Amino acid sequence: MSLLSFRRALRPAPAPLESLLSGYSLEVMPRTAAKVPSFRDLLPVGTRVYIAHIAGTEPAEMVATAARLRREGFEPMPHFPARVLPDRRTLDDLVARYRGEADVRQALILGGSPVKPAGGFHCAMQLLETGHFDAFERVHVAGHPEGNRDIAAKGGEAVLMQALRRKADWAAATGTEMAIVTQFAFDAAPVLAWAARVQAAGIGLPIHVGLAGPAKLQTLIKFAVACGVGPSLKVLQRRARDVTKLVTPFEPTEVAAALAAHVTADPGGPVAAVHLFPLGGIAASAGWARAHGGAAAVPASEEG
């Protein structure tokens, strides 16, 4: 055995939380990204960065954000929300610009939050069926461990599972790498229970669990209510009753550690990585990930 091999053999295995955060992704909005002097000062090169599609934001801003991230050495993954797009021409133009001006190879396809669609698209599956995303290297779709009343008016999970199964079938048919990225939650238990149900339903897609980055409690509660976060909101409500904790940012360390422990115990399970929603700022989320060993690397479940 060479000295180098010997040193590698003695290197301790990554701590569970460090291992889970390997390959974490992060989400930005064009207006917040524009305030970051250099993403290289915050994120490991190669990090997957989602670009939120916010109604009212000019496509040029979103495309420019993707192009900048590509230049700085990151993997841009823009959102394509079905209900926000007014027509097919807008979709055609947006895909062409992302591909041509920013070399975008990955996309998050989702229904979007508006109850009333802006045009003829009302679900993610319609976007996938346009054929635009067949040539993308990777496509992610949204998962809702605590339900989504925009999709299932009565909160029924059967509708959500059926939608995920159709997307998984599309990925298999087109040979596209796909993963599920979830809405953020504050408790690991409902997320892990949902992930087990997804796996039991025969949907073999890796799951990237959404976590809210460090932020003030009031900020998190506001976003959680607006985004329809379910039972795990109780974690924040309990914390709000402790006045000594109101002035310190809430960090996702506890829920992340619970997820990491589960993944360590069940390495063949569906949970593959985490996705950070930087509700308290990009720098705060990146700093939290860095402090807990987060590094940009392809999760083991996505290799090969």
Give the integer Cα–Cα distance in Å for 27 and 39.
12
Give the integer Cα–Cα distance in Å for 2 and 8.
10
- Mean pLDDT for 88-96 is 97
Give the length of the chain: 304
Would the pLDDT of 7 be above 50? no
Q: Which residues pair with 275 in a beta bridge?
A: 25, 210
Instruction: Tell me what percent of the residues of the chain surpass a pLDDT of 70.
Output: 80
Question: What angle (nearest 5°) sits at the alpha carbon of residue 99, between those of residues 128 and 295?
Answer: 90
Would the pLDDT of 151 be above 70? no
State the virtual CA torsion across 249, 183, 17, 195 in degrees, nearest 10. Answer: 150
Would the pLDDT of 225 be above 80? no
Would the pLDDT of 8 be above 50? no
Would the pLDDT of 106 be above 90? yes
Lowest mean pLDDT among 25-34, 153-162, 237-246, 290-299: 237-246
Q: Which residue has the higher pLDDT, 26 or 144?
A: 26
Contact in structure between 301 and 272 (CB atoms under 8 Å):
yes
Q: How confident is the model at residue 160 (pLDDT cuts 50, 70, 90)?
A: confident
Can you list the domains of the chain with their CATH numbers?
16-298 (3.20.20.220)
Average pLDDT, the chain: 85
Give the integer Cα–Cα distance in Å for 304 and 281.
33
What pTM was estimated for this model as a whole? 0.86
**Residue 208 confidence (pLDDT):** 98
In the block, tokens 């939050």 appear at 113
Q: pLDDT per residue over 231-247, tens digit each? A: 555 666 665 555 445 55
